Amino acid sequence: MTELNAVPNGPIIVKGTATWTDADGNEQVNEGKGGSVALCRCGLSKSKPFCDGSHNGNFEADPTNIVIND
């Protein structure tokens, strides 16, 4: 199971196994195992696709949760 949690005014937290392609075309894998990764959704991060906290005080968005049963 993979869970995506969009934090209020913050990043998307990916929990579980997920694979995506970053802006440079590199495949990224989050293997889960209790870990999680924070993905930028404000566009301000200097380490995209990952969140570096640049959204603090500069970004507003509603929270949402998505669960993917694979």
Q: For the domain that residue 9 is a member of, what is the CATH number?
A: 3.40.5.90
Contact 44, 53 (CB under 8 A): no
The model's pLDDT over 13-54, given as tens digits with 9 standing for 90+, comes to: 988 877 878 778 998 887 755 678 899 999 999 988 889 999
Question: For position 8, what pLDDT does the model report?
Answer: 93
Contact 58, 51 (CB under 8 A): no
User: Regarding predicted confidence, which is higher, 54 or 1?
Assistant: 54
- Domain of residue 41 covers 2-68
- Checking if the pLDDT of 5 tops 80, the result is yes
- Checking if the pLDDT of 55 tops 60, the result is yes
Phi-psi region of 57 (alpha: psi -120 to 50; beta: other; left: phi over 0): left
Which candidate, 62, 38, 35, 64, places its Cα nearest to that of 52? 38
Distance of alpha carbon 15 from alpha carbon 29, whole angstroms: 11
How many domains is the chain partitioned into structurally?
1
